[in-house]
Chain A
């Protein structure tokens, strides 16, 4: 009887108008308000400035005072020699970063299945700590290994009787330096997200599989990996949405005049033409191009994931 009246009351609630329901939740909206205002001011108002991409702005002019030039900024970018080079480099970095995506998963699976607890703790801590080191400093650690004839790697090469290498002055070493330092920084951190998901694996499943004589390797493959699939899909989509965002900070620091051929990415390029050369319209156009590519990647990977696996970020 009581349950019936309660459900009736619930029905009544559902029939309330949208306005009434919103009013009922006014406290929740108040909790969202500060975040809402922050995001409007610092993220959405700048979107208004995207029109800069279609304008040519002189020093001292405000955004709307700039002359309207249509697609000219884009045409300039697409037809310039910088286009194929910066886009190529950005895509290369994006793709190579994408290839490192499974590493945190493998690390998490190993950590989760390690029987020696001390080894597990040691590895987890040690792989996490690089994440705490600032990019500025990570780069100086990279330089410690490569920057001169007396750097660590070159000394090793010398001892092995190999010729020494001038890492910072050749194009072909940019990508390895970027990727390896990236692996060092992020693998431990990302593995924790997977460990977190692995902690949700039902222990009964594992017990049942043990009783059935399932080997550990099979268990990792069929239970662990299956259970963290949703997390993998979501992180994959999130990563693809930043495919074009090669870290400008880090690239600027690895960059030397001699390796520009491989280290000039869209990010470093917009930085230079925008803030150093003050070509605001041009820089914004290049930025907008990156954003559109990223967004398309995000939406399509989300769509494909939804179709193929039934899982998606949104």
Chain B
């Protein structure tokens, strides 16, 4: 009797006060997370301090923890580089237009596919999912873009990205799991059609997942480099990432070209050394600014479920 009582008390206590083993684990987790955090942060920190340090100190390896030879020359030089600003403007436009259209198209599709009584729901879902894993490949896709006369237009970057299968899966899971069926039923009893259910009920309730999708899509458009490089040759509509890549490799390309004077190459090399790090900061800034607005929705908005039918 006494023993049972004692056992009960200790078990109750353990529910409130963690055991020694638990506390050791807690400390281990905290230490591990701190170490991981610092390891992940350090490369970014090194970029930040390198961008405001004198390049000669960087090339002799003297910049480690704090900036040395503090100056803003890199940012001034970047400000004078017109291609960066053209790229910035273009990428902002692509990102804005692309994200808006992708959100509209993908969310609508995800909503319809989340409705259980939709005939052909499963085949339709697999139809979209299939594109995630099987594609015509580089050349056939290139030919389609070419035949549609989309090469070298703004559309070749926006239109193909209007349906993101991965975001479709996330969004569909959310509609399915987090919004109770009864809401639609009562709305339908009051005469609301599926269009209204989608726009007035589902969309406002799916805020977390929509926020996550916005960030995913925006990142995809903002950071895309491969397709603009292939599809676009007109510099007036080229994206920031391509310009950046060009700036950072210009000097190397000049080295192979016997017609480029050595002084020009040296000047380019100096510019590359100077701009390399500032460019990382300036071009990642829009996404970093978007992040805090969306962070609080992350946990609830990123669910991935099986494709049920």
A120: interface (CB < 8 Å) = yes
| Shortest CB distance B33–A (Å) | 4
CB atoms of A110 and B32 under 8 A apart: yes
CB atoms of B143 and A127 under 8 A apart: no
Closest residue on chain B to residue A18 by CB atoms: B119
Complex formed: what's the CA distance from A127 to B15 in Å? 32
CB atoms of A314 and B108 under 8 A apart: no
Partner of B41 from A120, A126, A133 at Cβ < 8 Å:
A126
CB atoms of B34 and A123 under 8 A apart: yes
| Shortest CB distance B61–A (Å) | 4
Partner of A35 from B25, B109, B126, B298 at Cβ < 8 Å:
B109
CB atoms of B37 and A291 under 8 A apart: no
| Shortest CB distance B161–A (Å) | 9
**B104 — which chain A residues lie within 8 A by C-beta?**
34
CB atoms of B303 and A128 under 8 A apart: no
CB atoms of A27 and B195 under 8 A apart: yes
**A29 — which chain B residues lie within 8 A by C-beta?**
112
B261: interface (CB < 8 Å) = no
Q: A32-B108, A123-B36, A152-B46 are in contact. Are A230 and B140 (CB under 8 A)?
A: no
CB atoms of B300 and A122 under 8 A apart: no
CB atoms of A150 and B303 under 8 A apart: no
**B132 — which chain A residues lie within 8 A by C-beta?**
238, 241
Partner of A270 from B22, B138, B280, B284 at Cβ < 8 Å:
B138
CB atoms of B43 and A145 under 8 A apart: yes
CB atoms of B40 and A188 under 8 A apart: yes
| Shortest CB distance A34–B (Å) | 5
Q: A38-B159, A123-B33 are in contact. Are A130 and B40 (CB under 8 A)?
A: yes
CB atoms of B141 and A136 under 8 A apart: no
CB atoms of A283 and B22 under 8 A apart: no
CB atoms of A283 and B115 under 8 A apart: no
| Shortest CB distance A306–B (Å) | 10
CB atoms of A114 and B295 under 8 A apart: no
CB atoms of A314 and B307 under 8 A apart: yes
B230: interface (CB < 8 Å) = yes
How many A residues have CB within 8 A of the partner chain? 105
Partner of A242 from B26, B60, B133 at Cβ < 8 Å:
B133
**A314 — which chain B residues lie within 8 A by C-beta?**
125-126, 129, 306-307
B304: interface (CB < 8 Å) = yes
B86: interface (CB < 8 Å) = no
CB atoms of A25 and B279 under 8 A apart: no
| Shortest CB distance B66–A (Å) | 14
Q: A35-B163, A46-B136, A215-B19 are in contact. Are A248 and B226 (CB under 8 A)?
A: yes
Complex formed: what's the CA distance from A18 to B47 in Å? 61
| Shortest CB distance B248–A (Å) | 6
Closest residue on chain B to residue A283 by CB atoms: B139
Partner of B109 from A31, A49, A113, A145 at Cβ < 8 Å:
A31
Closest residue on chain A to residue B104 by CB atoms: A34
CB atoms of A127 and B40 under 8 A apart: yes
Partner of B162 from A35, A47, A49 at Cβ < 8 Å:
A35
Which chain A residues in 208-244 approach chain B with CB under 8 Å? 210-213, 215-217, 230-231, 234-235, 238, 241-242
Q: A18-B119, A132-B287, A238-B304 are known contacts; what are 15 more A-B pairs with Cβ within 8 Å? A: A28-B194, A31-B111, A35-B105, A35-B109, A38-B105, A41-B148, A52-B140, A123-B36, A137-B279, A141-B43, A196-B301, A197-B304, A211-B12, A230-B306, A248-B226
Give the 7 A-B residue pairs with the shortest CB-CB distance, closest first: A49-B140, A46-B136, A287-B137, A35-B109, A134-B223, A155-B61, A27-B194
